[in-house]
Amino acid sequence: MPPAETKENNARWEARVGELVAEARDAIHRRTDRMFAGLLVFQWLAMIGLALWVTPLTWAGTRSTTHPHVWAAVGLGGLTIALPLFLAFARPGRPNTRFVIAAAQMISTGLLIHLTGGRIETHFHVFGSLAFLSFYRDWRVLLTASAVTAADHVVRGLAWPESVYGNIAGANWRWVEHAGWVVFMDVFLLFACWQGNRDLWRAAEREAELEAAHATVEERIRERTAELWQKEEQFRRAFEDAAIGMALVSPDGRFIRVNRVLCETLGYTETELLACSFQSITHVDDLAIDLEHLRRTLEGLSSTYQMEKRYRRKNGQIVWATLGVSLVRDNAGNPLHFVSQVQDITARKAGEEALVRATAIAEAASRAKSEFLANMSHEIRTPMNGILGMTDLILETDLTPDQRESIGLVKTSADALLTVINDILDFSKIEAGKLDIDPIPFSVRDTVGDTLKALAARAHAKGLELACDTDPKVPEMALGDAHRLRQILTNLVGNAIKFTERGEVVVRCECLEEPNDAIRLVFHVTDTGIGIPPAKLRTIFEPFTQADGSTTRKYGGTGLGLTICQRLVELMGGRIHAASEPGRGSTFTFDVRLERARGSIERTIVLPVDLKGVPILIVDDNATNRRVLAETVRHWGAKPTCSASGPEAMDELRYAAGNGTPFPIVLLDGMMPEMDGFMVADRIGREKALAGVAILMLTSADRQGDTARCRDLGVASYLVKPVKPAELNRAIAAALYAATPQAERATNPTNPTIATVPGPVAAVGRRLRILVAEDNVVNQHVIVSLLKKAGHAVTVTVDGKQALAALASEGPFDLVLMDVQMPEMDGFEATAAIREMESGTGRRQLVVAMTAHAMKGDRERCLAAGMDDYVSKPIQRAELTRVLEWVAGIVPVSISSQTPPPRQRPPVLDRTGALERLGGDEDLFGQVAAVFLADAPKIREELRRAFSAGDFAEIRRLSHGLKGAAGYVGGLATAESARALENLGAEGSLSSAAAILDDLDRELDRLTAALGEPVALPA
Amino acid sequence: MRRDWLAWLAALLWFGALLSGIVGWEWYTLTPGSKGTPVAIEAEPGGWRLTIFVHPHCPCTRTTLTELMDLSHAEPDLAIRVLFVIPPEAPADWWNGPSHTIAESIPGVEIVQDDGTEARRCGAETSGHSLLIDPSGRTIFCGGLTPGRGRDGALRLWLSRMKSPSGERVDAPVFGCPLFTPNT
């Protein structure tokens, strides 16, 4: 079969087969020619020998001569073989050569027959000769030989029959028999020749196929060889021309092959490198590691390794290099050689060293910058404190309108300046990566509500509605950085108020579930302000950017607020983005990832009062407010009905009263067009049918005299929007409580649980004894004025030493406001001394730091120094009020004079205070106390374990939780001990922890015992 | 082509030369030896008797003797006498040789040495010369028993002719070596 089914290939293959047949035939002919040459010579010699043996001599009497047969054998025999011999050597393989050979062979046979006197046995030579001649596989040869024999037999048979057959018997017919045998034999020999030729063709075909296959294989081998050569060439080129040093290294470390770059890198010639091992040029300090890697690789523990090492150049210089090594194994897995890649990184190493030095320098510069910022912060805030504080004080005095306007401008400008400073400091912290998130348990609703309340005045001053819509799914408590969350909200809502001239600003808070018991709070701050052009939306989060350059001029601001918000949100695992429509308003949306608050803190939440089935009329011209309020009260079970105006509300009230289902509660917006809230309240008060309706006045403006008007109109509560849900709940509950007859309260326990709530506007502050340690005269004046104006007793010292002396001489104060930076003895030292003095006494002096440092770590440093809280200067009245309220909540003793008795240790159980914080709900207090009693032993045990393990973070966490839990049940002494332990945990110092832990144990025992005692009923 | 032609020509010449040689050789083979004139061939009456004169070393005569062996089997009554012609100058054991060995193996043969006298008397000059005498004592055959030098196959032909009823003497050529040394 030809190798491929194409005509061209077929013809080529057939031609090749023909060539092979011809070659084979030629070889056969030549070989047979040579064989017959030998055979003819042999026969000739045999012929001579035969003649010499049989008829050596001829005689004549006693005289003898050589027999003519001998001469005939020599002569005729020699003549017979002369030509065929010549042709066999001169023209081997030619047709006429073998024809002559055939004729000679048969003539030789005739001579032999003649010499043997026609012996019949000699005739067998004829058949033998024909058989031999068939070796030629040429029918023509056989025919030639047969013809010669036939001619010989016929001619001699006719002429001299006895010369053919030895006798003359049958001479007339024997030649026919002989010829018949020859023909018989010829037939078979010709058949054999034909078969031989056929085999020859087949062999040639097979040979051609083999050749084709061989050629194909050869071609493939050539191709593969070429590919291998190409790959080898590629490898060689890649190896030789590699941009890095490369080497093949034997398993014992000798270089087998190296490239130019390696030679240049190491400073050796190729011959020198090939004569040495890598061990000899490796830096002695790196050799052991390299050999260890090598050993692991050889043992199959790894297939490659990479390391940085040093080589010693020929001139002694050290070269740093990155070495990558891989091991090549043979098919049996035996190591062949390593392929090493050596990259000179000396320059990089030098760069790294330079970088380290530069980094050190930069860090030093950064520290210097931080120090500078801190100092600048201090230096700026100190006078700012004076400006703001004194401005507040002046504004509270009797001023002419012009004076009030001027001072108001001063106040506004100072506030703006403080905002700018705070923004810049925050931004500096963020840029320096020194702003951290400090997660603590906090009330989400209170945090949002407080934030909005702080901004309410600004919104109301512009006549804006400020509303908060909190999804009921939002948990009461969460674990996160409330301070930073408040900062974000303040910024976004502040911006919304700033850029909104009319309409509303609404904050919506949603909660999404997250894996691992986390939550994601999503806040939407929507305003109806000027909006932001789409092209600017992408850039508003970039530093120093506002939507329009002109806005900076018009509205002020640093342009850092949103950048800070964005970074803070990112720090809290969220994203912030904005959507806006110019002229219609903007919505800023951000989300933060928080964790659910766990343990007693979560379980001691003040539950809202159940208002199931209570109909409430909501009157507000603002649709958002109506919706928010309706949703809020509906969440508590109430049935809200909304009215958008005063007359509509009056109609609703009358209709409900007429149906015998009057509204017991009206949530009334104070400011509405045409008929405002006060007018509606007045109308309600005038109509007898509406008697008994409790009015809760909600107003956006805390105007002077409004409280008095409310009291005159019989308004149950006066709330400033945005109202916190808890606050609203308490107000509604109080109003319902007041409206319910006492007898009914006693006999109808199914009524909503209503507690006595504190005053709706602001907590009534206790009069406290406060020690102020402040060296700056302005600041002294401001803080003292603020405190005295609030009715507190103030003692002033100018440094830490004097503060200590005051404490020593005047006994414990309810609060020490401690400036951090003071001459002689600063706040940290003084606080440390206070704590040192308290050590082992079980007492704890509340110390709140005042610092103009607003840098990262200040709060931590203050807490670590044993301070209990932290306010930054310039002191904001709101911040100061927060601290004072907090202190008033902890300190049980009210002061009534400038010289109160020395402050005692906090009581074991402040039941009254705890009840107040729980809305006066005894049942709830009982539940909270039960939870505390159940949790306290576990916490105590965990604290002991954490103390044994030296786990500061756990001590701090547990102490913090215990502090909060104890505070909820009024365990002030326990909370104080827990706070002390928390501080120690934060400091990472447990030197005095054992004593405090013992103290905590004692307080816990006492608190547990006190909580277990029956409640003493008031007399 | 030219070389082929030359080859063929050479082959032709070669073949012609061979043919000539073969013809010459055959001429030699078929050329009989001389026959003398018998001095007296007288025999007493008796059975059939065949007398043959043999040169002890003539190779052609061995064929004759081989024929005689066949004849002795075919004609057991035929009395065969082989006379080895030993010239006087010949050495004593000259007559021993292959022919003598063959002759001795012929059953009933009588081997006689002849110093040439009997041969000459019978006109025998060439080895293989034979005389067949019938029971009456007449010589009915005189000549060689082979049709050529060293060739057999003619004995029965001669015998049939010898025993022909015509009773005429048959003469035949003798193929063999001369019995006598020339010029002696």
Residue of B3, B4, B20, B25 to mutate when probing chain A, most A C-beta within 10 A: B25
Q: How big, in percent rounded to 5, are the helix, strand and coil portions of chain B?
A: 35, 20, 45
Q: Say how far residue A388 (Cα) sits from the centre of its chain.
A: 47
At A695-714, the pLDDT tens digits run: 888 876 556 567 677 777 87
pLDDT of residue A764: 35
CB contact at 8 A, A717 and A734: yes
**The token pair that represents B16 in the structure block:** 């012609």
Q: Which residue of B has its CA nearest to A104?
A: B15
Q: Which fold has domain A769-904?
A: Rossmann fold (3.40.50)
Average pLDDT over residues B27-52: 81
Residue A146's nearest CA partner among A182, A195, A176 is A182
- For chain B, the structural domain boundaries read 1-30, 49-171
pLDDT < 70 stretches in chain A: 1-6, 163, 166-171, 370, 374, 377-378, 432-434, 544-558, 598-609, 700-705, 707, 738-766, 842, 852-860, 874, 889-906, 916-921, 924, 986-995, 1013-1019
| Alpha carbons A576 and A488: distance in angstroms, whole number | 10
Mode of pairing for the β-strands spanning A63-66 and A57-60: antiparallel
Mode of pairing for the β-strands spanning B129-133 and A615-619: unpaired
pLDDT of residue B170: 80
Long-range contacts of the stretch A513-518 (C-beta < 8 A, 24+): A514/A593, A517/A595, A517/A596, A518/A593, A518/A594, A518/A595, A518/A596
Compute the count of residue pairs across chains A and B with CB atoms less than 8 Å apart: 117
**Considering Cα of B57, then B63, then B64, then B69, what sign does the dihedral take?**
positive
- For A242-344, CATH gives 3.30.450.20
Total residue length of chain A = 1019
**In a 3-state reduction of DSSP, which class is residue A855?**
coil
Q: Which of A60, A83, A163 sits opposite B26 (nearest CB)?
A: A163
Contacts of A82 in chain B (CB under 8 A): 14
CB contact at 8 A, A193 and A137: yes
Q: Please state which CATH class domain A436-598 belongs to.
A: alpha beta
Q: Which residue of A has its CA nearest to B146?
A: A167
Asked, colleague to colleague, whether A615-716+723-744 and A769-904 share their fold, the answer is yes
- Distance (Å) from the C-alpha of residue A60 to the closest C-alpha of chain B? 5
The yes/no answer on whether domain A359-426 falls in CATH 1.10.287.130 is yes
Question: Is some CB atom of chain B closer than 8 A to the CB atom of A63?
Answer: yes
Q: Which residue of A has its CA nearest to B150?
A: A117
The yes/no answer on whether domain A912-1012 falls in CATH 1.20.120.160 is yes
Residue of A76, A167, A172, A174 to mutate when probing chain B, most B C-beta within 10 A: A167
- Distance (Å) from the C-alpha of residue A80 to the closest C-alpha of chain B? 7
Mode of pairing for the β-strands spanning B129-133 and B110-114: unpaired
Q: Say how far residue A677 (Cα) sits from the centre of its chain.
A: 57
Distances (CA, A) of A32 to A84, A112, A468, A711: 12, 22, 121, 147
Q: Which residue of B has its CA nearest to A97?
A: B7
**In a 3-state reduction of DSSP, which class is residue A558?**
coil
Q: Would you tell me which residues 74-133 of chain A have a C-beta closer than 8 angstroms to some C-beta of chain B?
A: 75-76, 79-80, 82-83, 87, 91, 94, 96-97, 99-100, 103, 107, 110-111, 114, 117-118
- For chain A, the structural domain boundaries read 7-212, 242-344, 359-426, 436-598, 615-716+723-744, 769-904, 912-1012
Average pLDDT over residues B5-33: 86
CB contact at 8 A, A850 and A774: yes
At B126-159, the pLDDT tens digits run: 999 988 888 888 888 888 888 888 777 666 666 6
pLDDT of residue A321: 93
Contact B87 A62 (CB under 8 A): yes
Residue A846's nearest CA partner among A732, A946, A770 is A770
Q: Please state which CATH class domain A615-716+723-744 belongs to.
A: alpha beta
Strands annotated E in B7-78:
49-54
Mode of pairing for the β-strands spanning A465-470 and A769-773: unpaired
Contact B22 A165 (CB under 8 A): no
The yes/no answer on whether domain B49-171 falls in CATH 1.10.10.10 is no
What ipTM was assigned to the predicted interfaces of this complex?
Answer: 0.89
Q: Say how far residue B56 (Cα) sits from the centre of its chain.
A: 12
Given a cut of 70, whether residue B54 has pLDDT beyond it is: yes
Contacts of A61 in chain B (CB under 8 A): 55, 87, 90, 178-182, 184
DSSP string, A512-543: EEETTTEEEEEEEEEE-SS---HHHHTTTTST
- Do you find a cis peptide bond into A758, omega within 30 degrees of 0? no
Task: State the number of CA atoms in the 13 A half-sphere of A732 facing the CB.
Answer: 33
Q: Which residue of B has its CA nearest to A148?
A: B15
